[in-house]
Amino acid sequence: MRSCAESFAAYVLRPLGRDWGERLLPRGLDITLCDQVFLIGGGLLWNIYFAALAIAFGFVLATGVALARFSAHGWLWRPAAAFIFTFRGSPLFIQFFFFYSAFVLLPRSGVEIPLGVTTLTMDTSALTTAQVGGLLVLILNTTAYSAELFLGALRTVPKGDLEAADAYGMAGFTRFRRIVWPHMLRLAWPSYTNEAIFLTHSTTLVFLSAFPAQQQSGEAFYYARYFVDQTFNPFIAYPIVAAYFVLLTLAIIGLFGLVNQRLNRHLPRPQRARIRFRPQYLR
Amino acid sequence: MFSFCTDPSVLPDWQWFACYLTSATHLSFFRAFGVVMLLLAVTAPAALAMGMAGALALRSRIMPLSALGRAYVNIVRGVPDIVFFLFVPIALGQGIEWTLHQINCPDWDQPIRQGNDFIVCAEARMPPGDASAWARNAYGFGMAVIAFALVFGAFVANTLHGAMRAVPQAQIETAESFGMTARQAFRRIVLPQMWIFALPGLSNIWQILIKATPLLFLLGIQDVVYWARELGGQKTSLYTYPHPDWRVWYFLALLVFYLFLTWISERGFGWLTLRLSRGQATAQGERMRKGAA
């Protein structure tokens, strides 16, 4: 039997790949409680990787999509509406399968994009890995959900604020950056916090579906399932992974709460929007 | 299916597809869509009943009961739901086997958990060792329904609890001043009117329930995802209908199916909102009253 320190050394970085710890995962009767705690905890690194990058990219894209959806031009809002409808109306689980099976069809040698003078060769082999392809699906998905939230906020920016901006002679990008955007964020932030939480929870779906976990390096829930398969005992691994996710959720609430404070710093305290944990559940 | 399907390799395109899409495995694939609809049809009332029980428990003046309701709602909502979907069926299965084991085999002297095995006596096996494949599938499906009902029941309980409190308090007081008991006032005043307040929440939960159905695949049930993977994969010339990797088309079909399902239920809930707003003391109800006059 391994001691706890040994299993920490062997498994806590194992989710990054074979070279970062023991080559093989613990099997069968060899599994100790510490193995489960550390391997699942190490897998959390990937959850954080997926969530952080998807939220960062998704935030920027969602602002763009929300603005496009809010636009009065049909050629702009129609595609944006279709995008939002497609990704919000279908299960993320199916989206993973669909995009994976589309990505494997891309030629291995890469896609050549003719640019007139030169030809740009895009490497597509990375898209079939969860770390790139799965992340891309998560980004598209969170973009659609966040864009819907931002759109709701854009629609409720007070008329008076916009008129005041006009009176000051602000227009175009200046008006957007100084008035519309901060207001949109302020209104949307409590629900955007929930979106971030549920995006983090849905990172558990990445390896459950089509994307393979190469060298058995997966996220926390992948290992929890692995342990339940090995030990046939759901009462240890699943509570561990649940506890980790509760901690992660609390961390997100704390982090987004700081941003919320900053967004509302000019308001008297009682008027500030409070972040309430209101799950939107599965997607 | 069709009479001309005897040798598909020599058929022209459209006949080949007609035969391909009506092969026995494809019929199973189409039946799997029925399984999805069945799951929705069974789970929705089950979750609604579960949620009603939860909401009544939350409302209860009896301390242990309301504490139980709160614990149920908060635990389910705090944990990632996917954990619950996988945890409940296996934990429940083991729980049932353990209970049957205690009842049927009291003189069994070996421990149930031996290392990594979960061993109960033969009489306690669920489903029994000699059960038909059909019974096994039904058992697995039932487990999935229970897991779905438990998780979504907690969400529904929360929504219904809020809706019950949204019915104007003055109406309940009026009912009591007419001499109705608390129970009568609940049944005659609160229950008929709460639905309009619950509808936005319920519609949201329904959409989420629709989007949760492909997770049946993870529970080992031969659902639409299973068949899409199975049928779409590359088929060599050993098969009657050889074709390259077509999974992307099968998953595209699933995507469209789910989009259609969410779209149609959005329309349905829109209609229901109008219908339930009739005669309500809400802005929409007032507008309809004025429009009719």
Q: Domain locations in chain B?
A: 3-249
**Dihedral over Cα of B210, B215, B216, B221: its sign:** positive
Quote the number of domains for chain A. Answer: 1
Please tell me what DSSP assigns to residue A275: P
Return the structure tokens found at A271.
């008027």
Q: How far apart are alpha carbons A134 and A161 in whole angstroms?
A: 40
In sequence order, what are the residues at sequence separation of 6 or more whose Cβ sits closer than 8 angstroms to the Cβ of residue A55? A142, A196, A199
More confident residue, B1 or A147: A147
Return the structure tokens found at A113.
């994009």
pLDDT digits (tens, 9 = 90+) for B25-66: 888 889 889 988 999 999 999 999 999 999 999 888 888 999
Query: 3-state secondary structure string, chain B?
Result: CCHHHCCHHHCCHHHHHHHHHCCHHHHHHHHHHHHHHHHHHHHHHHHHHHHHHHHHHHHCCCHHHHHHHHHHHHHHHHCCHHHHHHHHHHHHHHHHHHHHHHHHCCCCCCCCEECCEECCCHHHCCCCCCCCHHHHHHHHHHHHHHHHHHHHHHHHHHHHHHHHHHCCHHHHHHHHHCCCCHHHHHHHHHHHHHHHHHHHHHHHHHHHHHHHHHHHHHHCCCCHHHHHHHHHCCECCCCCCCECCCHHHHHHHHHHHHHHHHHHHHHHHHHHHHHHHCCCCCHHHHHHHHHHC
Q: How far apart are alpha carbons A105 and A124 in whole angstroms?
A: 10
Q: What is the predicted ipTM?
A: 0.84
With an 8 Å Cβ cutoff, are B115 and A28 in contact? yes
Please tell me what DSSP assigns to residue A12: T
pLDDT digits (tens, 9 = 90+) for B56-65: 998 888 889 9
Q: Which of A249-258, B139-148, B227-236 has the lowest mean pLDDT?
A: B227-236
In sequence order, what are the residues at sequence separation of 6 or more whose Cβ sits closer than 8 angstroms to the Cβ of residue A210? A96, A97, A100, A101
Domain residues for A240? 46-271
How confident is the model at residue A224, as a pLDDT?
92
Establish if A154 belongs to a structural domain: yes
Establish if A98 belongs to a structural domain: yes
How confident is the model at residue A280, as a pLDDT?
46
With an 8 Å Cβ cutoff, are A242 and B80 in contact? yes
Burial call A177-187: b when 16+ CB within 10 Å, e when fewer: eebbbebbbbb
CB B136 within 8 Å of CB B222: no
Q: How far apart are alpha carbons B6 and B12 in whole angstroms?
A: 13
Angle at Cα B24 formed by Cα B21 and Cα B30, nearest 5°?
60
Establish if A170 belongs to a structural domain: yes
The tens place of each residue's pLDDT in chain A, 283 residues long, gives: 788 888 888 888 888 888 888 888 888 788 888 889 999 999 999 999 999 999 999 999 999 999 999 988 989 999 999 999 999 999 999 999 999 988 888 877 667 777 777 776 777 778 888 889 999 999 999 999 999 999 989 988 888 888 999 999 998 899 999 999 998 999 899 889 888 988 998 899 898 877 888 888 888 999 999 999 888 888 889 999 988 988 888 899 899 999 998 988 888 776 666 666 655 445 5
Establish if A31 belongs to a structural domain: no
Establish if A130 belongs to a structural domain: yes
Residues of chain A that touch chain B, judged by Cβ-Cβ distance less than 8 Å? 28-29, 31, 85-86, 89-95, 97-98, 101-102, 104-105, 201-202, 204-205, 208, 221, 224-225, 228, 230-235, 238, 241-242, 245-246, 249, 279-283
How confident is the model at residue B208, as a pLDDT?
87
Q: How far apart are alpha carbons A122 and A112 in whole angstroms?
A: 6
The string of DSSP letters for A50-65 reads HHHHHHHHHHHHHHHH
Return the structure tokens found at B48.
């609604």
What are the Cα distances from residue B103, in Å, to A243, B89, B96, B123? 34, 21, 11, 10
Q: How far apart are alpha carbons A15 and A247 in whole angstroms?
A: 19
Closest Cβ–Cβ partner in B118, B218, B255 for A90: B255
How confident is the model at residue A274, as a pLDDT?
67
With an 8 Å Cβ cutoff, are A245 and B77 in contact? no
One-letter identity of residue B130: D
Q: How far apart are alpha carbons A30 and A94 in whole angstroms?
A: 36
Residue A170 sits in a domain whose CATH number is 1.10.3720.10
pLDDT digits (tens, 9 = 90+) for A32-91: 888 899 999 999 999 999 999 999 999 999 999 999 999 889 899 999 999 999 999 999
CATH top-level class of B3-249: mainly alpha
Establish if A238 belongs to a structural domain: yes
Residues of chain B that touch chain A, judged by Cβ-Cβ distance less than 8 Å? 77-83, 86-87, 90-91, 94, 113, 115-118, 155, 204-205, 208, 210-215, 217-218, 225, 228-229, 232, 245, 247-248, 250-252, 254-255, 258-259, 262-263
Q: How far apart are alpha carbons A154 and A82 in whole angstroms?
A: 18
- Please tell me whether residue A193 adopts helix, strand or coil conformation: helix
The pTM (predicted TM-score) of the whole model is 0.86
How confident is the model at residue B263, as a pLDDT?
94
CB B223 within 8 Å of CB B214: yes
Closest Cβ–Cβ partner in A98, A281, A283 for B252: A98
How confident is the model at residue A105, as a pLDDT?
85
More confident residue, A155 or B1: A155
Establish if A203 belongs to a structural domain: yes
How confident is the model at residue B50, as a pLDDT?
93
Establish if A211 belongs to a structural domain: yes
